[in-house]
Structure formats: structure tokens, C-alpha cells
Amino acid sequence: MMELGKRLFVGIKISKGLQQELDSPAPGTRHYLDGRDHLDYLNVINAGEHKIIGQFIEDGCPAAAITEVSRNVCRIVKLMTRGRRIEENEVHIYAGETLAN
């Protein structure tokens, strides 16, 4: 697990149900949780008592690109969870100051 410094993070809070699905991901998808800073990988970070799965946003990222990052997070989570439905309002942007171990 990683901790967010001052970078922004686009992600989904991990509920108990989502955690169970992530613990047994679809075959061939576990590598998406490799923790690399790349568009094809997700990170799990701590936000107080919550865990969040998503991607970091690069400094200077164009505002228009945030929508693409959000879609990518949803796409990868859906792949890993065999099609879990993710509502648009489940994806949030988190700031470093709001997240800690």
C-alpha cells in the first residue's frame, strides 16, 4: 500500500464487498495492482480508516484528462471484479492532506 504525499489521487473507496472481489480478482488481472505509476495499474492507499483504489494524477495534468483517468480506474476495477457496476459518483479526487496512514 502507498501513502499519498501532495499528489492528487482519483479513486474509489473500497467497501467490504469490493474488497472481497479484489481479494479474488478475475483470472489474469492481479497484475493491475502492481502499484506502478502507469495508466494500466492501480494503487491502493489509506485514507484514515478507509482504503481507496485508483490512480495518481501527474502534476500539471490537464483538467480535461481527469475524466479519462476516472474512466480508466472504473475500467480496470470492472475488469478485476468481473463487471462490478461502478456509479459515476463513486469516483472521487483526493488531496494529499486528506489521506494518511
DSSP H or E run through 53: strand 50-57
- Other C-beta atoms within 10 Å of 77: how many? 25
Q: Is residue 66 part of a domain?
A: yes
Q: Average pLDDT for residues 27-37, to the nearest whole number?
A: 82
What cell was used for 42?
Answer: 492501480
The parent domain of residue 61 ranges over 8-98
- The 8-class DSSP code of residue 83 comes to S
Q: Is residue 45 part of a domain?
A: yes
Q: How many domains does the chain have?
A: 1
When pLDDT is cut at 50, 70 and 90, the band that residue 99 belongs to is low
Q: What is the pTM of this model?
A: 0.84
Of the two residues 46 and 98, the one the predictor is more confident about is 46
In this predicted structure, the answer to whether residue 101 has a pLDDT above a threshold of 50 is no
Q: Is residue 67 part of a domain?
A: yes
**Residue 70 carries which side chain, given as an amino acid letter?**
S
Which region among 4-13, 49-58, 62-71 has the lowest average model confidence (pLDDT)?
Answer: 4-13
